[in-house]
Chain A
Amino acid sequence: MTKVVVVEDHPMFAEGLIALLGDLDGIEVAGHAATGEEAIELVAATGPDVVLMDLQLPGISGVEATRAILRDDPGVAVLALTMLSDDATILEVVRAGARGYLLKEATPDEIARSVAAVAAGQVVFGPGAGARILAALASPSVGVRPFPELTDREAEVLGLIATGLTNHAIAGRLFLSEKTIRNHVSNIFAKLGVADRAAAVARARDAGL
């Protein structure tokens, strides 16, 4: 029996998903959380095998919740379930430790297969996303520095972003043009696989920058 926790803030979708999972053989819905904070508590309390995680949640994001859950219990399989399909979003959640990724229009069959797969320790991605993610993950990641994939300058810029400075202010601080800073920021986002500043800051903070 696979114990599943559903984290989803949209009540109707959550209801449909829970009903679907309930109909499937071998799956037991251990609980439902509507926010990331609730999800962390619920997972700690119920100890599920799989967490179906919506990424856009009120309060902390699904990515942050994933990271927190896996920090407490690395054995949980998190399967992201989201409306968006862009590379940055996917990479972000994979870096946070999710085992897989499904779009919300996934069919019941796909969902069943994916839950079973991640519960069995496999990794699941939607069509097309797999190759891109492998390419993005191919960059070397061994080293003592928090973000070995970043150049010294990029790491410096990321540090300044994390302190809350704007591109303009960073440009002034480093005596560089704003455009150069934008280029660095663009590279940083690509290398960290994040979609926006807030996510980059979260990554930097987590890494202790």
Chain B
Amino acid sequence: MRTPRSPWPVWAGAAFAGLLLLLVAGSLAVEPRLRELGVTGFVARFDAFRASGALAFGIPGVIVVVRRPEVRVGWIMLAVGAVQGVSLALGSYGLLGINGVDGGLPLDDQLMWISNWGWTPAYLAVPTLFLLLFPDGRLPSRRWRPAAVLTWAAIVLATLGWALLPMADVDVAGLYPPGYQGLVPPWNGLAMPAQTAGLVCGALAAAAALASLVYRYRRSSGEVRRQVQWVLAAGLVTLVLLIVAQVGNSGLPLLLAPLPLPVAVTVAVVFHRLWDIDLLLVRTLTLGALSLTLLAAYAGSVLLLGRLFPEMPLVAVAVVAALAQPAYGRIRARANRLVFGERDDPVAALRRLGDRLSGGGLPGELLGQVAESLGRTLRVRRVAVEEDGVVVAEWSTGPEGPVERFPLLHRGEQVGTLVVGEPLRVRDREVLAELAPHIAVAVRAHRLGADLERSHQRLLAAREEERNRLLHELHDGVGPTLAALAFQADRGRRLVDGQPEAERLLEALAARIRSTVVDVRAIVNDLRPPPLEDLGLAGALAELGRGFAGSLVVEVDAAADLPPMPATVELAAYRIAAEALTNAARHAAASHCQIRLRAARDLELRVDDDGIGIPDQVRRGVGLGSMRRRAVELGGSFDLATPGTGGTRVLVTLPLREAG
């Protein structure tokens, strides 16, 4: 695990979260009793707002604090959740006592008083302090100090204002029994001015906080920008909801107001690596929270149904519940896939992988596609395939984190390793175990393809080597030997002076031997390795063309933007062009030849001459066959045509993309 050992152990975080849940659950549990006592409902007295705030900020907050205690914004979230949870629970307790359960409870007035103002700092901190310090817990710059001052002024003044308010003056009717006075704090005349001042400061601070987010957004880039963008949008939504709630004095916008920001923070954490928090944990808890919310909504709807139609028999409620249950199951599966991808659906994952594998593509691209498919399916940051410790395919959406390795076995032999950039759950391992054999086959195919490509290259290299050897044999051995034989024939002719028959014979022999030397030179010239390395293909072809000077005018028309080409392609193009020129000069009686080179996906080589065409016996000869073979060997095509304008056209395409 990359994160340093936190001073806040996981169990403490879990205990805190559990406590928070307990506070909310306890408040909900006493709700029926409060109803019986005639107290205003959970939503109408803003307790639902406090409950959603407690969970929505408290749970993500505790996760951040446990994993990254140095992140201040996490502490703010945790504090907001805790304060809302505690004030909610205190309020429920106070209301129970004040409204006369068991003739009052210990300290019920005092605790109710605390609950009446306790929510204020938490409520105000969200649109001000939280937004101002997000995401690094520091002000964007020193110039933002006034905004911080304003924020603290708002929190202190508003809290004071609520604390000084006489308990009976709260703005929610029907909380207390008739005639209840409760605590009357001293200096309560200052309550309303303090509240108003707090509200004004709060509005200004919120505007400044949003401005600071816009400022951060515009200054940032890349991943940080995406993190801020989510929170900025959520901040705007929150503010709009709060204003609507304030103006319309309605419950629903207020109830929803605590949700956007924690959701945005979670999105930033999960998808944009905010604070670098262990994704697996966040995901598990996110899923847990989602499930809990769904479960609550489900239970709530069943409960509501029973309330709305009290005369409906219990059986009917059960029937509705049974009908709603599949919907809950489906929604839960959707939530699961949203968070975990298709990890928990091996069949879907397998199907998607199969689509990739059968989708074709070059062997080199296949593994990359498989990695991508797997990465998207599992919703992980990085998937790589290794062969002998070398990464041969990789898909990633972010920087490298902790990795897990998974051996890929084919017929009992490890052909590679699957590297997944995230800790895996037991269930993930099961899914991977299903997928691994198929990936192993792809790796094996990749390796075979690479082997084939290598042996093909070796074959081509061996052929070049062989040509070189032959070249030296002819150039250094056969040629001079023949020339020496010609000298001997000449000598013989001089020695047989006076025998015309023998003289003629030896003279003809010497001439025949010399013309053979000329032939040998032609072969040697053809065998010489072309100066591709020094001159490039176009340059080498121009050089080749100059060699035909006297018999053939050769013009090379090469596109200015020829890309770098594999050596094998350059060599094949050169040899084919050489063969075409030789044919044009030797068989087609051409006087002019144009070599045209164009490259896009393929290299296109066109050789046009103005000769009489290629005679049939040559068509079947070795020359054309070797040209065609060279093109086909590299996966290209070869075409010989006689255009209407006369002459001969050789058209060759050679793929530039190297297979394998």
Interface residues of chain A, those whose CB is within 8 Å of chain B, are: 8, 10, 12-13, 15-17, 19-20, 23, 56, 83-87, 103-105, 107-108, 128, 132, 167, 178-179, 182-183, 185-186, 189, 195-197
Contact = CB atoms under 8 A, between A and B. Distances in A.
Interface stretch (B93-101, B286-294, B527-535): B527-535
B479 A182 contact: no
Contacts, number: 100
A108 B524 contact: no
Interface stretch (B41-49, B485-493, B634-642, B648-656): B485-493
A129 to B, nearest CB: 10
Contact of A186 (B482, B485, B536): B536
B247 interface: no
B33 interface: no
Contacts of B488: 16
A14 to B, nearest CB: 8
Interface residues of B, number: 40
A105 B517 CA distance: 6
B536 A83 contact: no
15 contacts: A8-B480, A10-B476, A12-B481, A16-B488, A83-B480, A86-B547, A87-B547, A87-B549, A105-B514, A107-B514, A132-B549, A167-B533, A182-B534, A185-B535, A189-B535
Given A23-B491, A186-B539, A196-B531, A83 B479 contact: yes
Contact of A83 (B514, B521, B543): B521
Nearest to B477: A10
Given A83-B520, A186-B539, 8 more contacts: A10-B484, A13-B487, A16-B488, A83-B475, A103-B521, A104-B483, A108-B490, A186-B543
A20 B487 contact: yes
A189 B491 CA distance: 41
Interface string B473-513: 00111011111111110110010000000000000001001
B521 to A, nearest CB: 6
Contacts of A84: 475, 521, 524-525
A174 to B, nearest CB: 16
Contacts of A8: 480
Contacts of B514: 105, 107
A85 to B, nearest CB: 6
Contacts of B543: 186
Which 9 pairs between the two chains have the least Cβ-Cβ distance? Answer: A16-B487, A10-B480, A105-B517, A16-B484, A182-B536, A13-B480, A186-B539, A105-B514, A13-B484
Interface of B: 475-477, 479-488, 490-491, 494, 510, 513-515, 517-518, 520-521, 524-525, 531, 533-536, 539, 542-543, 546-547, 549-550, 562, 564
Contacts of B486: 16, 105, 107
Given A105-B486, A186-B536, A85 B521 contact: yes
Contacts of B564: 178-179
Nearest to A20: B487
A185 B525 CA distance: 21
Contacts of B483: 13, 16, 104-105
Given A20-B491, A86-B547, A104 B517 contact: yes
B315 to A, nearest CB: 83
A183 B543 CA distance: 12
Nearest to B549: A132
